Amino acid sequence: MSRTPLISGNWKMHLNHLEAIQLCQKLSYELARHRYEQVEVSLHPPFVDLRSCQTVIDADRLEFKLGAQNCHDQNQGAFTGEVSAAMLAKLDVSYVIVGHSERRALFGETDEIVAAKAAAVAEADMTPIVCVGETLEEREAGRAAEVVSTQLRGSLAKLSRAQFETLVVAYEPVWAIGTGRNAEPRDAQEMCATARQVIDDIRRGVGSGVRIQYGGSVKPVNAQELLAQPDIDGALVGGASLDPVQFARIVQAALQACISIKAARQAKNQDRKNQDR
Ligand code: PEP
């Protein structure tokens, strides 16, 4: 099944709304030299920048999807300081990251909370990007697959079959986030394949359609090899997404990976045809 790669820039708590507008424009300038229709790009600024980014994307007809980094699971109410999925949808937000490891570790988000947020995002007709990933201790104890499986089962528990069909999952090993140490492409592939299998166990038949991103120190230098893996359908990028040149090169790498995957598939089909003759 063909899955359009999704490259998402998680700006975290960086850039005020003026700087955010500049980054959208600079990124658009960097990407204007390339054709990247085969790749989807989402930008996830802080909440206070969303309206400005929405306006510039709209006015300049930029080819970016708008994303958010978090939301509350309730539509409205006495939740001081929170932002609902419905409010984000009104700003033309398409993707909302939920369960990022920083939110799990620093703000106590459990799988149950993540599940409620993912459902709220999907109910508001946006796509949740549900993050999962093991810590270094868990990996060293040989528990990476078990941890990710438990997180997926808990975090996806409230989604309907139809909502699974548009779901995005980000496999982000915690030890690779912001450390400059990315997972080896082969290990990342293995974990994304495991995640796909778990998703298919949860809802039979949907696994092959769900996009699974890899996240954790993705840079131009490692992007192409990571993105060429058959079960990696894009990247969730933190640090490098704040630099328009680097982020544009990651999008380019995704494009190159698409081209090489397509060429490999064609060669395989040709081989099969030759054997059948
Ligand atoms: C992230 O924030 O999800 C992330 C992967 O960050 P970085 O690319 O900086 O490791």
Region 34-55: what's the mean pLDDT? Answer: 94
- Taking the centre of ligand 1 as the mean of its atom positions, its distance from the CA of residue 187, in whole angstroms, is 17
Region 106-134: what's the mean pLDDT? Answer: 98
Task: Report if residue 245 sits inside a domain.
Answer: yes
Catalytic residue among 30, 100, 134, 138: 100
Would you say 163 and 170 are in contact if contact means Cβ atoms under 8 Å apart?
Answer: no
Q: How many domains does the chain have?
A: 1
In angstroms, the Cα distances linking 151 to 84, 172, 194, 274 are 23, 12, 13, 44
Residues 217 and 24: their CA atoms lie apart, in Å, by: 21
194-231 pLDDT, tens per residue?
999 999 999 999 999 999 999 999 999 999 999 999 99
Task: Report if residue 66 sits inside a domain.
Answer: yes
CATH of the domain at 139: 3.20.20.70
Task: Report if residue 1 sits inside a domain.
Answer: no
Q: Residue 36 pLDDT > 90, yes or no? A: no
Which structure tokens are listed for 270? 């040709």
Residue 59: how many CB atoms within 10 A of its CB? 8
Task: Report if residue 12 sits inside a domain.
Answer: yes
Q: What is the mean pLDDT of the chain?
A: 95
Would you say 276 and 247 are in contact if contact means Cβ atoms under 8 Å apart?
Answer: no
DSSP 184: P
Q: Which of 222, 237, 243, 246 to mutate to test the pocket of ligand 1 (most atoms within 8 A of CB)?
A: 237
For the question of residue 100 being annotated catalytic, the response is yes
pTM: 0.95
Helices (H) and strands (E) in the chain, counts: 11, 8
Task: Report if residue 75 sits inside a domain.
Answer: yes
What domain range is 158 assigned to?
6-276
Region 24-53: what's the mean pLDDT? Answer: 94
Residues 17 and 20: their CA atoms lie apart, in Å, by: 5
Locate tokens 């459902």: which residue?
119
Q: Which residues approach ligand 1 with their CB closer than 6 A?
A: 10, 172, 177-178, 215-218, 236-240
For the question of residue 44 being annotated catalytic, the response is no
- Taking the centre of ligand 1 as the mean of its atom positions, its distance from the CA of residue 126, in whole angstroms, is 22
pLDDT at 1: 62
